[in-house]
Structure 1
Amino acid sequence: MKIVVSEEALKWFEEEMELDTGDQIRFYARYGGSSPLHEGFSLGMNREQSMNPAVTLEKNNSLFYIEEDDMWFFDNHDLHVLVNETLDEIKYEYKKEA
């Protein structure tokens, strides 16, 4: 499994979340909402330090990661982080590993 962050999404993080060198962004499973993978759960994100990362991506001196405890949510899908340009917000796509 891997994390893919588009250039547009990276720019969004830098501008909207004031992402700075060395910052870390965690993607995690949260109760509530829905996703294409799990009814009743959705994907959240937060700026916090990693504890036990299972998947990481370093991009522009920032770390994007998923903790080991949240791996079940992805069900062997890669996480693609993009921008919905109409709403100017982050969107996620889940693609089955090849």
Structure 2
Amino acid sequence: MKLTLTKRAANFYIKEIPLQKDDALRLFVRVGGVGSGGFSVGVQKDVPHPTSYTIVKEGILFFVNEDDFWYIDGMKIDYNEDLNLMTFDNPNWTNIDHPEKKD
């Protein structure tokens, strides 16, 4: 499992949710993304499992549980300040909203 979460993205979540140092935020597969009717990344304050993939950014523990590895593995989550838009890219998928493995 690999996840890249930029400092910009972490700071966006910290500001918007809001989060405080030592909080934990779960990233998970969400069905029914805005406008797509497909998949997207949901977020929720939660506590990780012993088998969760974890990374710490800006004093916050971000984590993904095993059930969501299939979608998030390889993903880069960033925040575009100019557009005020979160971006989610995963080279494993041809379309992030309706995942289909690349050949």
Superposed CA RMSD in Å reads 2.2
Please name the residue that 1:61 is paired with.
59
Which string of whole-angstrom CA distances, capped at 9 and with x for unpartnered residues, describes residues 9-63 of structure 1?
A: 12212221221111111111122138xxxx8322211121123543211122211
Figure out how many residues of one structure are paired with residues of the other and give that number. Answer: 90
TM-score by length of 2: 0.70
Looking at secondary structure, tell me which structure has more strand per residue: 1
Unaligned runs of 5+ in 1: none
Alpha carbons 2:7, 2:57 under 8 Å: kept? no
Alpha carbons 2:7, 2:58 under 8 Å: kept? no
Structure 2 SS opposite 1:33: coil
Q: Does 1:44 align with 2:42?
A: yes
Provide the identity percentage: 28
